Amino acid sequence: MQKFNVPTPLGLYIHLPWCVRKCPYCDFNSHELRNALPETAYVDALIQDFEEHLPAIWGRRISTIFFGGGTPSLFSPAAIERILTEINARSAFHADIEITMEANPGTLDESRFTGFRQAGINRVSLGVQSLQDEKLKTLGRIHNREYALRAVDMLKKAGFDNFNLDFMHGLPNQSIDDALSDLREAIACEPTHLSWYQLTIEPNTFFHHHPPALPAEEVLWEIQEQGKALLTDAGFMQYEVSAYAKNNRVCAHNVNYWEFGDYLGIGAGAHSKLTHTDKQIMTRHWQVKNPRDYLHPDKKFVAEEKAISEHEAVFEFMLNALRLTHGVPLTLFAERTGLTLDSIQPQLKLAYEKKLLIDNPNILCPSELGHRFLNDLVAMFLGHAD
């Protein structure tokens, strides 16, 4: 029997599913925009979607909002402002709410950045990926190095002092020097946050069907090790597998996912995870994925909803929390899963014995070995809860 005694923080994710062009490595729910952007219809649908879920979050304050995509910066500042105003008219925001928008350097000019800021966005996540033109071409990006650097300048001029740059490494034919030079230039842009992802080849992508030549394992390892050292020397603290923050300016929205907080997702294909203290259960649901279906007048927004079982709660908590480099307080397990620590005692004991968790009775945190064998560590919590 689960018991939720402590309020769970709540984030709001808003999915805007269109892009100018589909990148060959991308398996996100993003769709090439072939006609005019159905901006008004989509914003109407988002507001209706949010309204339908109001009873499930009644009385709760929203701590973070994240506009993800797709390419949210394809939407006009006026549309973003309307979304935020309508949502705020129906729910309360925390005073220090973080409101992030993903932006693509190929879709920006200075007035748009200023407009987004006036609309209420206070954090931007810019998808740079690389600053080498040849790599950007291979990745099928619509921007080049010059556009990316100009976009960074513009967002600074617009007054964004909190911004993230997305970079990828392990790119086709990338040398160690290529990857490190990208990182050095990323650091020189003075972001507060860097997301540094290793390129993965996902099923159902162009790269999956036409595999590019990727760097050898030893090169990938060196890129990782030397890259981490470079970032640390520049004052960036790694706090998750791919996330680095300066002066502790972590992405609060993502931290809430990793700490197994609650989130409501609106928009095509968005996922939600909610704790219902009245019923003492947690549920997960997701919206219809195709934007056409999402916009259909007779649609139901929710494609599927199910309760999260105790087994799933344990596994999902570990899957998320153990990604955090510095772990979480052990007490968070009971707060977020509603279960007692007794229910995972055998697995914890084994993980300590195998030295996959650090030896600290107050913190749940992978050891260096645990970080290296994270999948094995997480798998130990698969299907175990009384």
Ligand X SMILES: C[S@@+](CC[C@H](N)C(=O)[O-])C[C@H]1O[C@@H](n2cnc3c(N)ncnc32)[C@H](O)[C@@H]1O
Q: Which residues bind ligand SF4 (CB under 6 A)?
A: 19, 22-23, 26, 28, 30, 69-71, 104, 127
The secondary structure element, H or E, covering residue 297 is none
Total residues interacting with ligand X, rule: CB under 6 A: 16
Per CB under 6 A, 179 contacts ligand X: no
| Least gap, CB of 196 to ligand SF4 (angstroms) | 15
- 8, 29, 64, 71: residue in contact with ligand X (rule CB under 6 A): 71
* Closest CB 6 distance from ligand SF4, rounded Å: 35
- Look at residue 268 and give the partner it binds from ligand SF4, ligand X, none, a contact being a CB closer than 5 to 8 Å depending on partner kind: none
- Sign of the torsion formed by the C-alpha atoms of 228, 205, 259 and 190: positive
Distance between CA atoms of residues 296 and 290, nearest Å: 10
What 8-state DSSP symbol labels residue 356?
-
- 3-state secondary structure at position 47: helix
For residue 240, the one-letter residue type is E
108 is in the binding site of which of ligand SF4, ligand X, none (Cβ under 5 to 8 A by kind)? none
Q: Of 207 and 236, which CB lies nearer to ligand SF4 in the complex structure?
A: 207
CB of 22 to ligand SF4, least distance (A): 5
Pairing state between β 163-169 and 31-32: unpaired
Question: Which run of H or E residues covers position 334?
Answer: helix 331-337
The pair of structure tokens assigned to 325 is 């480099």
127 sits near ligand X (criterion: CB under 6 A) = yes
DSSP state of 289: S
Q: Which is nearer to ligand SF4, 20 or 237 (CB)?
A: 20
Q: How many residues does the chain have?
A: 386
Q: Quick one: residue 269, left, alpha or beta (phi over 0 = left, psi -120 to 50 = alpha)?
A: left
Report the site for ligand X in 183-242 (rule: CB under 6 A): 197, 199-200, 202
Nearest-angstrom CA–CA distance, 271 and 302: 9
- Choice between 9 and 68, CB closer to ligand X: 68
> Which string of DSSP letters, residue by residue, matches 80-107?
HHHHHHHHHHHSEEEEEEEEEEEE-GGG
Among 4, 66, 82, 102, binds ligand X (CB under 6 A): 102
Nearer to ligand X, 197 or 373 (CB): 197
CB-wise, 2 or 129, nearer to ligand SF4?
Answer: 129
Nearer to ligand SF4, 69 or 227 (CB): 69
Among 9, 69, 267, 366, binds ligand X (CB under 6 A): 69
> What is the maximum alpha-carbon separation in the chain?
59
Task: Provide, rounded to whole angstroms, the least separation between the CB of residue 103 and ligand SF4.
Answer: 10
226/242 with CB nearer ligand SF4:
242
Instruction: Round to whole Å and give the CA distance between 11 and 265.
Output: 8
Q: Which residues bind ligand X (CB under 6 A)?
A: 25-26, 28, 68-69, 71, 102, 104, 127, 129, 166, 168, 197, 199-200, 202
